[in-house]
Amino acid sequence: MIAELGHFALILALFVAIVQASVPLIGAARRHAGWMAVGRTCALVEFGLIALAMAALMHAYVTSDFSVANVYENSHTDKPLLYKLTGVWGNHEGSMLLWVFMLSLCAAAVAVFSDNLPPALRARVLAVQGMIGVGFLLFILFTSNPFLRLWPAPPNGRGLNPVLQDPGLAFHPPFLYLGYVGFSVAFAFAVAALIEGRVDAAWARWVRPWTLASWCALTIGIAMGSWWAYYTLGWGGWWFWDPVENASFMPWLVGTALIHSSIVVEKRDTLKSWTILLAIITFSLSLVGTFLVRSGVLTSVHAFATDPTRGTFILLLLLVAIGGSLTLYAVRAPALKGGGLFAPISREGALVLNNLLLSCGCATVFLGTLYPLFLDAVGGPKLSVGFPFFNRTFAPLMVPMVIAVGVGPMLAWKRGDLLGALQRLWVAYIATAVTLLVAFYVTYGGPVLAVLGLGLAAWLGSAVLVEFAERIRLFRLPLADSFHRAIHLPRSAYGMTIAHFGLAVSVAGFAASAFAQEAIEVLRPGESLHIAAYTLTLQKVERMPGPNYTADDASVQITRDGTQIAVVHPQRRFFPLQQQTTGETAIRTNLLADLYVALGDGDAEGNWTVRAYWKPLVPWIWIGAVIMAFGGLVSLSDRRWRVGVAARARRAPAGAMPAPGE
């Protein structure tokens, strides 16, 4: 009964979405206020209905209603409650429902927080959101319905893939999807602007908070996915350049470019058609990612069980959404006139360089991900494009990028003084040089490229701090005055500083991963292995029952110079239902380095393979990502974005806010 309610809510949501996609659009064309206002109501109703459907599916999972095929295929009565809830999106159908749920959430948010938008723009934005909703609701209802019934109901379900039975499943997909789908708002704004034929600073100001929020969610989503892989896989890898990972990384790269180029539109009224294009491409890449993951055209560890009808359906959606918006772009964009002029060496110029490098980086990832498909489709050899390719192509593109991030914010708008900026960065040179020397000395004989990577991180981190010190005139004015300036800096300036600093922290983490050490030994209880400065002793291995598995739980004592630091418990878990074994690693971190212990196979004589890794600075990768996302949130809290401010700012004279810009 409740499943039917959910099913019915979805069908109803489809009809509401159809109204949302059409009526406000006509209203906007005919300047009919009543019709335009329909969009808002529809968005809220659609959100309510999809939330109801989501709740219905969750109910079916929690009550283990195996008459629902989706529950039967992906759940089991013995599964812990957390995984009954999160298992809702641990499969294709449920995750699509989460996808449209997030989509309707974004549309509802636009409906609620858009008092300051001109009614026609709001109507068009909501209509475009409605169109995307129509497409995906059709997709769910016709090819991926999670509410289909089974008769007779099986007594128990087939369970969730043990690899997914991890708290990571509770957070990683929702954040990731919120990021993907959040970019639909920027997309809708771009399409609406193309329909209106007008892009101005106010437009950029409206679209920026949505882009920022989605970017933060995507940053967190990707970072959590990477962390999940790190602690799950048993050998400490955190990024594999897998097609599905790349599918999430590409919107991030272009989304990052979009955040930066929209600053130029807002402040300088130029780069308009480029920014519109980025907004379209960012969401298009989210859609292409959805296609790649669910159509089965690429092989990936993460891909869902696939079927060709779904692929064809999503391809049609891509044709309509991406093809349509890009055609509109081809027709309308040439009419968008850029305003503000600037010299190549200027803040705008630096942001253009940022966009160029990020776009090239994204194109590289795109090509690497899809090249096997292209070659195969034209009858070429089957080949793989793996991490060695990306390390050799993508990484070099990001080096000038990171260097430029240190200098760009030091340049003035319109016309900057590169030499002056470079002179003012002298502290950063010293910091970089010292880091390089120390790192080279400490790791002598180790990988030189990684040392340079650490230097890069030091450069960026110190340059960011120098820029901030410049901004508050630290040591140039009395401290009290500097403090006063610091308090009055706009939040967006803090956001930039924090996010760029986060990037520096992550870069250090990436670079230092090359210094990792590894020790793999077969141990009997009582025996030890040595890694870095630590001694790891396998004390015992015990069999322990879990809720739906049995675990071999190892007690591994970590000592340093004879003093015990901790006893950690890596496990091997056997899930009898799926006949599958997973590893549960134990990680001891001091935030400067991780000691990572995984339990391998055991034999009848009580020998166990123990795998230990010492990974310096690796936590910084995710700490940096969190700092970046936090920077985004701080920027988001800038009072310029608050409801109504944009409308006032449009009327206010220039320079009303003494902000030196981000």
Partner 1 sequence: MRALLLVLLLLLAPRAFAVEPSERLADPALEARARSITAELRCLVCQNESVDESGADLAHDIRVLVRDRLKAGDTNAQARQAVVDRYGQFVLLRPRVEPATYVLWFAPVALLVVGFGATVVWLRGRPASIAAPSPLDDAERTRLDAMLREDASLPAVPVPTRDSQPALAQDGEA
Partner 2 sequence: MRRLIYLLPVLLFGVLAGYFALALRPGYDPQTLPSAMIDKPAPDFDLAALQGDAKLSRDGLIGKPIVVNFFASWCVPCRIEHPLLMRLSQQEHIPLYGIDYKDKPEDAQRLLTQLGDPYRLIGMDREGHVGLDFGVYGVPETYVIDKTGRIRKRFVGPLSAEQVDQELLPLLRQLSAS
Residue (of 338, 78, 369, 3) closest to 200 by Cα position: 338
Q: Which of 63, 327, 391, 581 binds partner 2 (CB under 8 A)?
A: 327
Give the nearest distance from C-beta 181 to partner 1 in angstroms.
25
Residue closer to partner 2, measured from CB, 319 or 533:
319
Taking CB under 8 A as the criterion, which residues in 494-533 touch partner 1? Answer: 520-522
Bridge-based pairing of strands 608-616 and 517-523 is: antiparallel
What is the four-CA torsion angle of 398, 402, 407, 411, rounded to 10 degrees?
Answer: 60
- Which parts of 344-441 are beta strand (E)? none
Whether the link from the prior residue into 243 is cis, omega within 30° of 0, is no
Cβ atoms within 10 Å of 419's Cβ, excluding its own? 9
Residue 311 touches which of partner 2, partner 1, none (Cβ within 5-8 Å per kind): partner 2
Strand order in the sheet with 593-602: 517-523, 608-616, 593-602, 586-589
Residue 243 touches which of partner 2, partner 1, none (Cβ within 5-8 Å per kind): partner 1
Bridge partners for 588 per DSSP: 595
- From residue 348 to residue 387, what is the string marking binding to partner 2 with x (rule CB under 8 A)? ----------------------x--xx-xx----x-----
- Which parts of 173-272 are beta strand (E)? none
Helix axes 324-332, 272-295, angle to 10 degrees: 170
Give the nearest distance from C-beta 487 to partner 1 in angstroms.
17
Bridge partners for 598 per DSSP: 611
User: What distance lies between CA 588 and its chain's CA centroid?
Assistant: 26
445 binds partner 1 (CB under 8 A): no
Total number of residues that touch partner 1 (CB under 8 A): 80
Is residue 125 left, alpha or beta, with left meaning phi > 0 and alpha meaning psi from -120 to 50? alpha
Half-sphere exposure of 199 (CA within 13 A, CB side): 36
Structure letter (DSSP) for residue 338: P
Give the nearest distance from C-beta 578 to partner 1 in angstroms.
8
Residue 581 touches which of partner 2, partner 1, none (Cβ within 5-8 Å per kind): partner 1
Residue 648: CB partners within 8 Å, gap ≥ 6?
none
Q: Which of 223, 336, 351, 385 binds partner 1 (CB under 8 A)?
A: 385
Give the nearest distance from C-beta 372 to partner 2 in angstroms.
9
Of 165-173, 546-554, 589-597, 651-659: span binding partner 1 (CB under 8 A):
651-659
Give the nearest distance from C-beta 56 to partner 1 in angstroms.
27
Taking CB under 8 A as the criterion, which residues in 424-463 touch partner 2? Answer: none
Give the nearest distance from C-beta 171 to partner 1 in angstroms.
23
604 binds partner 1 (CB under 8 A): no
Q: Which of 326, 363, 565, 633 binds partner 1 (CB under 8 A)?
A: 363
Total number of residues that touch partner 2 (CB under 8 A): 32
Give the nearest distance from C-beta 330 to partner 2 in angstroms.
5
User: Which residue in the block uniquely carries the two structure tokens 């110079």?
Assistant: 561
Structure letter (DSSP) for residue 566: E
296 binds partner 2 (CB under 8 A): yes
Residue ranges that bind partner 2, judged by CB under 8 A: 273, 277, 280-281, 284, 288, 291, 295-299, 308, 311-312, 315, 318-319, 322-323, 326-327, 329-330, 333-334, 370, 373-374, 376-377, 382
